[in-house]
Amino acid sequence: MRLRNVPHAKKLIVRHPDKIVSLGGDEDILLNERFPKERPLEVEIGAGKGRFIHTLAKGNPTCDHIAVEKYDSVIIRALERVIDDPLPNLLLVRADAEHLDRFFRPRSLRRIYLNFSDPWPKKRHEKRRLTHPDFLAMYKELLEPGGRIEFKTDNRKFFEYSLKTMNRAGMRFLFLSLDLHSEELSDNIMTEFEERYGKNGPIYKITASFEEGHNEETVQGTA
């Protein structure tokens, strides 16, 4: 979806500075300060067309949310959604995730959501995977004490890779599922990707934190 050229994307983004910011990587800006007061802050990285984060923000008006997406042509679909149904607690950010540590105060995020991140199956692209050890090290700096990463994928190999990188990073697993849609969970918010491809096979989920603890004692769900 990202390769499609949407000629009016840049113009639309510039017209809505209250709803979306486009960052190249060297701007001097602290996204925490884009909201009127400091409240819990949750971020989705690779938000696509924004259905997940918009639903989340709408249902949780007492905390703030940021959707990060790399491509103009994709995030303008989220922008159209926010124009139709504005939410004061949701900001869209067009940026590459690799620059995020410049734009947030350390230890200021309550949750990082990674929903159906691109698996980048080729070894030479490993560094682009959003659960690569370099990204995990960055998330560790950004998450507040007790903060969590919530990761969903339909790709078994990417799930296994992410389990290994998170385990090696010393993360504690709070929830694991090998078939999320078979669990009796009422709080799952379907993403666009999940709705489209979730019927083809199981959805895997990991919730993990950098808190101290023993994985054997804490894992719930059908791991």
Active site residues: 118
142 binds ligand SAM (CB under 6 A): no
- Residue among 64 and 72 whose Cβ is closer to ligand SAM: 72
Stretch binding ligand SAM (CB under 6 A), from 12-20, 80-88, 159-167, 190-198: 190-198
The HSE-up count of residue 199 (CA atoms within 13 Å, CB side) is: 3
CA dihedral 91, 94, 96, 99 (to 10 degrees): -60
Minimum Å gap between C-beta 118 and ligand SAM is: 5
CA distances from 10 to 23, 27, 87 (A): 12, 18, 21
Minimum CB distance to ligand SAM smaller for 46 or for 147: 46
CB of 137 to ligand SAM, least distance (A): 15
- What residues have CB less than 8 Å from 196, skipping those under 6 apart? none
Residue of 13, 43, 66, 74 interacting with ligand SAM (CB under 6 A): 74
Whether 99 and 76 have beta carbons less than 8 Å apart is answered as: no
With CB under 6 A as the contact rule, the residue among 47, 56, 112, 163 that binds ligand SAM is 47
Stretch that binds ligand SAM, among 6-14, 30-38, 58-66, 69-77 (CB under 6 A): 69-77
Distance CA 94, CA 78 (A): 11
**Helix then strand then coil, % of the chain, to nearest 5:** 35, 20, 40
Judged by CB under 6 A, the chain residues 107 through 136 that form the site for ligand SAM are 115-118
Q: Which residues bind ligand SAM (CB under 6 A)?
A: 2, 45-48, 68-71, 74, 96-98, 115-118, 191-194
